[in-house]
């Protein structure tokens, strides 16, 4: 562990305390003697920029104002009197803005710009990121596929459930005056951890894990909370409905001890889901058509259908709007190919074709906004014509229903290479009482380097990703 990571952990160990049913912690300062320059003017300038945007979009303005009101109501933020400033406080004013999520229409995410500079420095310049406590995304998905009954949820406003100790809150000030432009803005102070500070992810995971260890003596529940969360998303699986319900209720109870509300529950077992409090269950996503009694859910970027217990893919209409006969540029091709999120490699054999095409386009040395032509355009038209077909693909979420019966399980990994690309793929071979099943685990592909490389060397590269 580096010196910076060690310092961050020491600060977390020293400042993290359980106070009145919530956890509070300190900001991860790089130095003990941090001093800030004036930052009010920068924050005020950014506020006026945001106000102009609000004036152009009344609906956005209403959402923005409501978000600030909610912050104050929930005690995430409070109004402060600058006359009460105490000498020695680290005072910093944070610009703020909001972003829209295409997957959540009608909602905005409020973000503090801790990277914004004033007089040559920013809040993030003075904060440590801390050690990486984030579980690998693929590891979470592998565990999610292990057992018969799958379930998942997320922590409501995870970062804001951790309070910042009082001596550090003055570094989290922001300006606000609503829709009233004829007065000086009020000064507010975030009492909770902010979304945007570089130290927040580490602190949030540290507190979540510490809460589990503090309020549970059950190793399985601690493991579930510590090792089966990806940021605020929790995914898990068990062998039977009773075990699943027991784990769900215990995870809810332990997390609630620290103020973490785990909600949005969905499960492949309707019986288990019906016994979870209704206010904690998932609601229907308006963009997704119901295919049964349970709504299709997004789990770490993948589409999971609990009714069939399968993974699938959805291509947004705007990605398929431009037709093959219209102008297609290198920029459009790259944008579309990189928008296909496939962490486990279910679509590897399809996506690698587009990557090879991109490499061929690159060799032509055309500009980003130049049109594809000739053979490259024909290849693109063929690939693009198959894009919509990926919505028909369904991959079983669970490796096998035999995993609960202590079968003989073998992991088989293959790799190979050609002049254009190299790849590796992994399967599970599961055998029980003369019955054998094979399950796809994951796949990885890479295009061959632009510089000519021998097949044996490419096969060695394939072996490297096979070992990983």
Provide the CATH number for the domain around residue 28. Answer: 3.10.10.10
Strand 162-164 with 22-25, pairing: parallel
Q: Are residues 363 and 246 in the same domain?
A: no
Q: Are residues 212 and 275 in the same domain?
A: yes
Q: Are residues 220 and 191 in the same domain?
A: no
Strands lying side by side in the sheet with 149-155: 229-230, 233-238, 149-155, 262-267
Alpha helices in 57-129 (DSSP H): 58-73
By the 10 Å C-beta count (0-12 exposed, 13-18 middle, 19+ buried), 404 is classed as: middle
CB-based contact 26:165 (threshold 8 Å) = yes
Q: Are residues 339 and 411 in the same domain?
A: no
Phi/psi region, residue 93 (left: phi>0; alpha: psi -120 to 50; beta: rest), is beta
Q: Are residues 43 and 179 in the same domain?
A: yes
Specify the 3-state DSSP secondary structure of 53. Answer: helix
Chain centre to alpha carbon of residue 35: 33
Dist. CA 268–CA 248, nearest whole Å: 13
Q: Any residues with CB less than 8 A from the CB of 40 and at least 6 apart, and which?
A: 93, 175
Instruction: Write down the pLDDT at residue 149.
Output: 96
pLDDT in tens, 408-444: 999 999 999 999 999 999 999 999 888 999 999 999 9
Specify the 3-state DSSP secondary structure of 215. Answer: helix
CB-based contact 94:116 (threshold 8 Å) = yes
Question: Which of 370, 392, 414 finishes a domain?
Answer: 392
- Position 86 pLDDT exceeds 90: no
Q: Is residue 335 part of a domain?
A: yes
| Helices and strands per DSSP (H, E), number in the chain | 12, 19
Question: Which of 279, 312, 345 finishes a domain?
Answer: 312
Q: Are residues 366 and 338 in the same domain?
A: yes
Global pTM?
0.89
5-19, 305-319, 445-459: which has the minimum mean pLDDT? Answer: 305-319
Cβ atoms within 10 Å, residue 33: 5
Instruction: Write down the pLDDT at residue 319.
Output: 57
CB-based contact 127:30 (threshold 8 Å) = yes
Instruction: Write down the pLDDT at residue 297.
Output: 82
Q: Is residue 154 part of a domain?
A: no
Number of domains in the chain: 4
Q: Are residues 222 and 180 in the same domain?
A: no
Average pLDDT of every residue of the chain = 91
For residue 419, the enclosing domain spans 395-467
Strands lying side by side in the sheet with 77-79: 77-79, 186-190, 173-176
Q: Is residue 245 part of a domain?
A: yes
Q: Are residues 65 and 23 in the same domain?
A: yes
- Cα–Cα distances in angstroms (integers) from residue 118 to residues 40, 186, 199, in the given order: 9, 20, 19
Question: Which of 291, 312, 333 finishes a domain?
Answer: 312
Q: Is residue 349 part of a domain?
A: yes
Q: Are residues 366 and 416 in the same domain?
A: no
Q: Is residue 152 part of a domain?
A: no
Token pair of 244, please? Answer: 């699943």
Q: Are residues 283 and 217 in the same domain?
A: yes
Instruction: Write down the pLDDT at residue 290.
Output: 43
Residue closest to 9 by CA, chosen among 1, 19, 18: 1
Q: Are residues 380 and 424 in the same domain?
A: no
Q: Are residues 248 and 322 in the same domain?
A: no
């Amino acid at each position: 562990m580096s010196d910076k990571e060690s310092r961050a952990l020491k600060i977390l160990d020293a400042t993290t305390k359980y106070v009145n049913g919530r956890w509070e912690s300190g900001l991860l300062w790089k130095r003990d003697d941090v001093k800030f320059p004036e930052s009010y003017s920068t924050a005020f300038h950014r506020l006026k920029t945001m106000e102009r945007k609000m004036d152009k979009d009344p609906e956005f303005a209403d959402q923005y104002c409501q978000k600030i009101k909610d912050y104050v109501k929930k005690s995430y933020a409070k109004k402060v009197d600058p006359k009460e400033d105490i000498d020695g406080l680290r005072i910093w004013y944070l610009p703020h803005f909001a972003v829209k999520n295409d997957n959540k229409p009608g909602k905005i995410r409020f973000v503090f710009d801790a990277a914004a500079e004033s007089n040559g420095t920013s809040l993030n310049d003075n904060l440590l990121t801390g050690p990486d406590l984030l579980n690998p995304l693929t590891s979470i998905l592998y565990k999610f596929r292990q057992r018969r009954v799958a379930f998942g949820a997320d922590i409501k406003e995870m970062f804001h459930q951790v309070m910042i100790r009082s001596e550090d809150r003055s570094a989290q000030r922001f300006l606000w005056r609503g829709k009233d432009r004829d007065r000086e803005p009020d000064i507010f102070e975030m009492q909770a951890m902010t979304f945007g500070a570089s130290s927040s992810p580490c602190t949030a995971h540290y507190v979540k894990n510490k809460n589990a260890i503090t309020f549970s003596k059950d190793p399985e529940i601690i493991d579930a909370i510590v090792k089966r969360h990806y940021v605020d998303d929790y995914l898990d699986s068990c062998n039977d409905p009773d075990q699943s319900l027991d784990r769900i209720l215990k995870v809810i109870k332990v997390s609630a001890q620290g103020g973490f509300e785990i909600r949005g529950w969905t499960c492949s077992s309707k019986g288990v889901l019906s016994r979870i409090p209704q206010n904690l269950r998932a609601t229907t996503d308006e963009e997704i058509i119901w295919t049964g009694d349970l709504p299709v859910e997004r789990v770490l970027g993948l589409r999971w259908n609990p009714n069939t217990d399968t993974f699938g893919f959805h291509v947004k209409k705007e990605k398929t709007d431009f037709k093959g006969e219209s102008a297609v540029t290198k920029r459009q091709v790259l944008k579309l190919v990189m928008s296909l999120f496939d962490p486990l490699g279910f679509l590897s054999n399809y996506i690698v074709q587009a990557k090879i095409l991109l490499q061929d386009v690159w060799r032509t040395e055309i500009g980003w906004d130049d049109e594809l032509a000739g053979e490259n355009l024909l290849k693109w038209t063929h690939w693009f014509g198959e894009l919509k077909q990926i919505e028909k693909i369904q991959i079983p979420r669970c490796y096998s229903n035999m995993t609960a019966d202590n079968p003989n399980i073998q992991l088989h990994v293959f790799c190979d290479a050609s002049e254009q690309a190299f790849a590796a793929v992994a399967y599970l071979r599961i055998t029980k009482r003369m019955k054998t099943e094979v399950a796809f685990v994951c796949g990885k592909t890479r295009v061959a380097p632009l510089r000519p490389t021998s097949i044996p060397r490419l096969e060695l590269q394939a072996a490297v990703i096979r070992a990983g």
